[in-house]
A and B are shown apart, each in its own frame.
Chain A
Amino acid sequence: MSDRTRRFAQSGGAVLAAAAVLALPLVVTDRYLLKVLTFVGLNVIIVAGMAVLFGYAGQVSLGHAAFTGIGAYTCGFLTARAGWPWMTAVAAAVALSALGGLALALPSLRLRGHYLAMATLGFSVIANIVFVEAKSLTGGNDGLSGIPFASVGPVRLDTPWSNYLLVWGAAVVVVALVSGIVRGRPGRAMAALQGSEMGAMACGVDPVRVKVTAFTLSAGLAGLSGALFASAVGFVSPTSFALETSIILLAMVVLGGTRSVAGPVLAAVALTLLTYIDGLIPGLSKTTVAALQDWKGDIYGVVIVGVMLFVPAGMAGLARAWRRKSRSVTGAGEAA
């Protein structure tokens, strides 16, 4: 298959997948399952951004749950307490999360090494303290409740179906946007950095600028996911944005693999469904579900270590190796 037909087949497949995902509520009528699938979409939005950060810009973040939290609390507070219109509140939520990302990445990325990873860990811990302690803004441990549904003018998205469509509509746009970014100039700049930072600099790529942009983008997308979460669920509390959530998100991108958006997105779908497996397989016994919940941390830990030990490029890397192999086999056939 030539590169052009492959590209064509790929975009065709992507359009079909997007259409199938958006048409799913026609088939799925179970409310709980629809809610689970909405959560899957919310994670897809975060992980699409982290795919750029990890797979292309080569940075680790342990703070993306915190950025999601900032988005969720900002949107929740502005719509429920300050009476802002929904659209403006979401825009503010995205802007604030992105700004937080920028403020964190700028000092940490001036240095090489992996100070950013540690700074994001710190950010995650501190953000959680603020979520719990700043009671007048966040409601503390009791959380922030009474957040209104998404609404644009007179249209209120107050059914599970409309919220599913809202979240997945956003997810499709985000994935398309991110795929465009990594295929375009910024993606090539990041690929050059991965090859040789010195060489990339010689070609006029500013490594700090590229990495900071990737981090800010991914923080903003996490904020968007948080804002949509707040309006879809109507309630926000600190436990959703703990460090553990950040590590689970990291497990998703790591498993999904480097230099790919599709890989991490698929891994996000798979690992999120694993968390809500009881909604997926109705006959599952309570003890199995409880055991899975209990061993969640171990599973994610093993996934992270296992992938890094045995397939550091993740599922995407495996797919690339497999494609290369099949191509070289057909190439040999043509030569003979």
Chain B
Amino acid sequence: MGAAQLLQFTIAGLKNGAIYALIALGFTIVYASTGILNFAQGEFYMLGGMVAVWALRTLGLPLLAAVPAAVLVTVGVGALVERLALRPRRAEAPLVLIIITIGVSMLLQSLARHLFGPNEVALPPFTAGPSITFFGAAIERQTLWVWGLTAVALLVLWVLYTRTKLGLAMRATAVSHDSSRLVGIDTARVVMVTFALAAALGALAGVAVAPLTQTAYDVGARIGLKGFAAAILGGLGGPVAAVAGGLVLGLTESLSAAFISSTYKDAIALVVLLAVIFLKPSGLFGRAGREKV
């Protein structure tokens, strides 16, 4: 395999990795503030892409408006899911809440099929034009958008978490709900904001990648799984670890497709997931993760 070809696979890996990173971030922030594995995280990704295509084709919005509209709609869905389906059972065991997210995921997927139809769809690229050549490898312009948007999302998250009062409240809630309430933090609102934020991250990934790969009503489960594998790889800890987990998973997948077989490319995520759980449950970058009783 030539150097250019290897570079091409690396670029593809980093592109997918950025998408996994955004989904992994969604998992990580929801897990941090609630202790729930959100099985509906992949559906936010699906909604982002599908709503954008719908706004573009059916409502006739320009691409520039359809993309943020799709993210906003998904944020609304995320907040509604938290408010209507999860908050009423907040005091229950995580098992109950996890099953609720599974049900919500099934429901969102079915409703999306009724609303947007069963076909695979795609968005046009955000900026038209030929691919950029880079040391003999081609980079599609949309891939640059994926990286750019991921970087912006990270920056916004970092500012939010470290520079704002809301971010401080979110970090406090992640440590302890009870103590946070004692110092006057509205933890219910923080959890809702967290879900909305996770939905935004998922939708952003969905719209950013929709010009590159076709999307459909049923893509949520598979991408959710990859994002979760990335989050576990990062140890379900901080945002930086989640992003690193995403990139590592994307590269692993892409390079194993290059060197081993592309048929079972999707199986890599599960193998990685089980290997990490089995060998190093704290993730590649996490601290001691074994939960206390």
With A118-B228, A121-B225, A247-B102: A113-B270 Cβ-Cβ less than 8 Å: no
A298 lies within 8 A of B110 (CB)? yes
Cα A60 to Cα B35 in complex, Å, equals: 16
Name B273's contact: one of A122, A130, A296 (CB within 8 Å).
A122
Count of B interface residues, CB-CB < 8 Å: 48
Contact B37 A300 (CB under 8 A): no
Is A304's beta carbon under 8 Å from chain B? yes
CA of A304 to CA of B39, assembled, Å: 13
Q: Does B143 contact A (CB under 8 A)?
A: no
Contact A304 B98 (CB under 8 A): no
List A contacts of B136 (CB < 8 A). Answer: none
Assembly CA distance A37 to B124 (angstroms): 49
B291 and A308 within 8 A (CB): no
Chain A interface helix/strand/loop/mixed: helix
Whether A312 pairs with B269 at a CB distance below 8 angstroms is: no
Are B293 and A112 closer than 8 Å at their CB atoms? yes
**B237 vs chain A, min Cβ distance (A):** 14
Q: Mark B252-293, 1 if CB is under 8 A from A, else 0.
A: 000000000001101101100110011001000000011101
Looking at the assembled complex, report how far the CB atom of B223 sits from the nearest CB atom of chain A, in whole angstroms.
10
B89 contacts A by Cβ under 8 Å? yes
In the complex, B189 has a CB within 8 A of chain A: no
User: Known contacts A122-B229, A298-B107, A309-B89: does B98 contact A114 (CB below 8 Å)?
Assistant: yes
| 9 CB < 8 A contacts A-B | A110-B281, A112-B293, A122-B269, A125-B270, A126-B266, A243-B221, A254-B99, A305-B100, A308-B89
List 13 additional contacts besides A126-B267, A133-B263, A301-B103; criterion CB under 8 Å.
A58-B95, A107-B277, A121-B224, A125-B225, A130-B264, A250-B102, A296-B110, A297-B107, A305-B85, A305-B100, A305-B103, A308-B99, A308-B100
Chain B residues within 8 Å of A, Cβ to Cβ: 35, 37, 39, 85, 88-89, 92-96, 98-100, 102-111, 113-114, 221-222, 224-225, 228-229, 232, 263-264, 266-267, 269-270, 273-274, 277-278, 281, 289-291, 293
